[in-house]
Amino acid sequence: MGVSSVGVKAAAVIGLLGMLLLTGCGSTKIYTPDKTVEYQGSIYNVSDVKQLSTRMEGVPGSGNAVDLKGYDRKSFDALVKERGPLTVRTIIALDEKDVVYEQKKVEKGRDFERMQESLQDAYKDLTRFMADGNKTQLKL
């Protein structure tokens, strides 16, 4: 009789473990870590960003900001000749949040082109990062 009671207890334990394992399968959750970008000591959560864009603007010593979209080296030099050196800002827009990527006083078209290239490189890095499902952190 001792053998059969051990068998019954073992069967009960195995049955209980089986039930616990099956109930655990239905509540499996998948957690995805947030995507973050670090830039100049600030950390931005970009997990829920729907739209990325860039822009450049120049602010002359006196006057309003000028949208520099479509400007090249020659047209920028002409603008500087007309209005004087500009404080140029390159901006990455994360939905409604503007992040100033770079800001400096620019007097030459070549320096303006370098800022354009730097912004384009950062934008490419950011879009590749956002498309990669495995990466969670980017340092610009």
List pLDDT tens digits, range 34-60.
Answer: 889 988 888 888 888 899 999 999 998
36 DSSP assignment? E
Residues 45, 22 within the same domain = no
Confidence class of residue 33 from pLDDT cuts 50, 70 and 90?
A: confident
Edge-to-edge order in the sheet of strand 42-45: 42-45, 36-39, 137-139
Give Cα separations from 78 to 72, 86, 88, 123, 127 (angstroms): 10, 12, 15, 27, 33
List pLDDT tens digits, range 103-133.
Answer: 999 999 999 999 999 999 999 999 999 888 8
Residues 119, 85 within the same domain = yes
**Single pTM value for the model:** 0.73
Structural domain for 23, as ranges: 1-30
Residues 104, 71 within the same domain = yes
**Is the model more confident about 116 or about 61?**
116
Task: Flag whether pLDDT at 30 surpasses 60.
Answer: no
Domain count, the chain: 2
* pLDDT for res 2: 52
How far apart are the C-alpha atoms of 136 and 132, rounded to whole Å?
Answer: 9
Residues 66, 3 within the same domain = no
Residues 25, 46 within the same domain = no
Helix (H, G, I), strand (E, B) or coil at 60: strand
